Amino acid sequence: MSESSLRVVWVYPDLLSTYGDQGNVLVVERRARRRGLTVDRVDVRSDERVPTSGDIYLIGGGEDRPQRLATERLRRDGGLERAAGNGAIIFTVCAGYQIVGNEFINDLGEREPGLGLLDVASTRGTEDRCVGDVIADIDERLGLPQLTGFENHQGITHLGPGVRPLARLRMGRGNGTGDGTEGAWQETVFGTYMHGPVLARNPQLADLLLKLALDVNALPPIDDRWYEALRAERMAAAVQPG
Ligand code: GLN
């Protein structure tokens, strides 16, 4: 983190922001400010350069064509890879998750190289789209409460040896390969298929990103009653797809 403020970068809101994923940046920003931190939020449109000096980068989901355009621009730009090399925290959802992997199948049916920040590779699932509620137990190394979210994707993601699954599924399709995993993480880069927005439904995950960025083990507690009410309501409403 820079001397003065926490730099939170929201990557390509014009191309990647489905199902309320913008809420993720609002939650990170809000929870940092509630801890007395000064936050410098930077929204980077796809015709702008990605700054390399951010502390936390957030990328949302997107439809297939915007996903390809975003990937081409991010590859050309190179800023996100440099930020990752600087140890930035990168949190990605759905299309964002596929983009930071090694490759995915684009809207033209071709293999599109990703940014290679997570050792995963995505293909197009042969089954129905994965749509519905997700409940999953997060990796015990991260030690957080059960995750809640919802998913809507056609791509499925295979994990390489360089990553750990972010979570184990209780409900939903997650990575979609039938191995019971959801998402992936590797050092400071995280990917998930969960929308919701996922950081509103799982505020401890937002706090994890803040703790990693600040290099601290704990943050001052804040009033989480509204988050808890949302979590409880969404957990109770979750239905197994028929
Ligand atoms: N286009 C991708 C897929 O269908 C990601 C979708 C999304 O981000 N919601 O797999």
Question: What string of DSSP letters covers 66-81?
Answer: HHHHHHHHHHHH-HHH
What pLDDT does residue 127 have?
77
- Which of 17, 22, 64, 71 for mutating ligand 1's site (highest number of atoms within 8 Å of CB)? 64
Ligand 1 center from residue 150 Cα (angstroms): 12
**Rounded CA gap, 90 and 82, in Å?**
12
Among residues 94, 130, 153, 158, the one annotated as catalytic is 94
| CATH (domain of 189) | 3.40.50.880
Pocket residues for ligand 1 (CB within 6 Å)?
A: 18, 61-64, 67, 94-95, 152-155
What pLDDT does residue 2 have?
52
What pLDDT does residue 191 have?
98
User: Could you tell me which of 149, 195, 153, 194 has the C-alpha nearest to residue 21?
Assistant: 195
Q: Is 130 a catalytic residue?
A: no
Ligand 1 center from residue 230 Cα (angstroms): 24
Regarding beta strands 147-153 and 130-138, do their DSSP bridges make them parallel or antiparallel, or are they unpaired? Answer: antiparallel
**Model's pTM, two decimal places?**
0.96
How many structural domains are present in the chain?
A: 1
Tell me the two tokens of residue 198: 């996922």
Residue numbers of the domain that contains 180: 5-238
Q: Which residues pair with 93 in a beta bridge?
A: 192
Q: By the 8 A CB rule, do 165 and 137 touch?
A: no
Ligand 1 center from residue 133 Cα (angstroms): 15
**Rounded CA gap, 65 and 119, in Å?**
23
Regarding beta strands 181-186 and 189-192, do their DSSP bridges make them parallel or antiparallel, or are they unpaired? Answer: antiparallel
User: Could you tell me which of 42, 35, 34 has the C-alpha nearest to residue 7?
Assistant: 42
Q: Is 94 a catalytic residue?
A: yes
Per-residue pLDDT of the chain (242 residues; tens, 9 = 90+): 555 799 999 999 999 988 899 999 999 999 999 999 999 999 999 999 999 999 999 999 999 999 999 999 999 999 999 999 999 999 999 999 999 999 999 999 999 999 999 999 999 988 799 999 999 999 999 999 999 999 999 999 999 999 999 999 999 999 999 999 999 999 999 999 999 999 999 999 999 999 999 999 999 999 999 999 999 999 999 987 65
**Rounded CA gap, 132 and 172, in Å?**
7
